[in-house]
Amino acid sequence: MHIQTPLHVQKALEDGGAVVALESTVIAHGLPHPRNLQVARELEAEVAANGAVPATVGVVAGQPVVGLSEEEIERLGTAEGVLKLSTRDLPIAIARKMDGATTVAATMWLADLAGASVFATGGIGGVHRGGAHDVSADLAELGRTRMLVVCAGAKAILDLAATREALETAGVLVAGYGTDELPAFYSRESGLAVDVRVDSPREVADLWTAHEEMNLPGALLLCVPPPPEHALPAAEVETAIRAALQQADARGIRGKEVTPFLLTAVAERTGGRSLEANVALLRNNARVAAQVAAALAGD
Ligand code: PSU
Ligand code: MN
């Protein structure tokens, strides 16, 4: 299967230029419409303003695309029945010529096939709470696909300590950007340590170059705390998360519906402040990713 890339993205990839891949599940399933479309545009603009070419990833009518057009993004962010695709689901959308938004895992897979190596998202999936053995396939993908993934840690709706351990088991190097602590998505602190602290795009670029030189599989996970003016106190979010978890349980929400349901329920319970934090951290991550990609392209 041929991955479709628009000419300007293809050219940047061939020239060793700065390219930042962006995911589409956050657009199709993670944010409310029509804000989702606005955010998708803002993320691309943020990448471009910081010296890199944005390439939002998704599947349109069975065609995997790295570098969706504005119309294609609008389609994935508006249409009913857009699939939520992890890596294992890609064949379904391709064989059946369906539309699909890509999670962190599937975005890594497609971006890697297209030759991109820097990717920005909000929060990665991980180990869910409650010992229900719901573990995001993002973790397995982070362990096997070589990619520099910029995030704000794992989503706070998860069991962060268990997710931290799972990242270690998967062999994923976890770096803190200007911090020694793993950020907790909506909040800046989790009480969990990162493996290494880095304080500039240059330092990140050096780590990534060493990772590549060692021929290591898997991701370098660069964790960027949410901007202080939008970050929420962990204790406050925790109350909202617990209530949302009970609600999900009562309604029998399962499988891939869990994460979108929880994100929406937490937004409702924080009066939209978690949504603002989510948008702010997405933009912040896109900016840092672009700066790192630019530093790498300059090497
Ligand atoms: N980051 C956000 N919002 C999101 C996601 C990430 O700010 O909605 C998505 C990502 O696509 C991630 C997915 O891969 O949530 C995890 O879903 P699950 O827990 O079902 O694996
Ligand atoms: Mn899951």
Residue 257 confidence (pLDDT) above 80: yes
Contact 58, 89 (CB under 8 A): no
Q: Is the CB of 24 under 6 A from ligand 1?
A: no
* Ligand 1 atom nearest residue 278's Cα: 7
Nearest ligand, measured from the Cα of 163: 1
Averaged pLDDT, 48-59: 98
Q: What is the pLDDT of residue 248?
A: 95
Nearest ligand, measured from the Cα of 186: 1
Q: What is the pLDDT of residue 130?
A: 86
Averaged pLDDT, 111-118: 98
Nearest ligand, measured from the Cα of 137: 1
In the chain, what percentage of residues exceed pLDDT 70?
Answer: 99
In the chain, what percentage of residues exceed pLDDT 90?
Answer: 97
Residue nearest to atom 5 of ligand 1 (CA): 26
Contact 105, 141 (CB under 8 A): yes
Q: Is the CB of 30 under 6 A from ligand 1?
A: yes
132: pLDDT confidence band, cut at 50, 70 and 90?
A: low
Question: Nearest-CA neighbor of 262 among 277, 274, 276?
Answer: 274
- The 10 Å Cβ neighbour count of residue 252 is 7
Q: Is the CB of 54 under 6 A from ligand 1?
A: no
Residues recognised as catalytic: 23, 155
Averaged pLDDT, 3-30: 97
114: pLDDT confidence band, cut at 50, 70 and 90?
A: very high
Residue 180 confidence (pLDDT) above 80: yes
Rounded Cα distance between 162 and 138, Å, is 14
Rounded Cα distance between 144 and 231, Å, is 31
Averaged pLDDT, 129-147: 93
Q: What is the pLDDT of residue 133?
A: 82
> What pTM was computed for the model?
0.97
* Ligand 1 atom nearest residue 102's Cα: 11
Q: What is the pLDDT of residue 23?
A: 98
* List of domains in the chain: 7-297 (3.40.1790.10)
Residue 1 confidence (pLDDT) above 70: no
With 0-12 / 13-18 / 19 or more C-beta atoms within 10 angstroms meaning exposed / middle / buried, residue 2 is: exposed
Q: What is the pLDDT of residue 116?
A: 98
Identity of residue 63: Q
Residue nearest to atom 10 of ligand 1 (CA): 103
Q: What is the pLDDT of residue 299?
A: 73
Question: Nearest-CA neighbor of 64 among 90, 27, 87?
Answer: 90
**Which is more confident, 172 or 1?**
172
Residue 131 confidence (pLDDT) above 80: no
Q: What is the pLDDT of residue 140?
A: 97
Averaged pLDDT, 136-165: 97
Q: Is the CB of 176 under 6 A from ligand 1?
A: no
Rounded Cα distance between 104 and 118, Å, is 12
Residue 142 confidence (pLDDT) above 70: yes
**Which is more confident, 71 or 130?**
71
Identity of residue 25: T
Q: What is the pLDDT of residue 298?
A: 86
Question: Nearest-CA neighbor of 222 among 156, 162, 172, 160?
Answer: 172
* Ligand 1 atom nearest residue 126's Cα: 19
Residue 102 confidence (pLDDT) above 70: yes
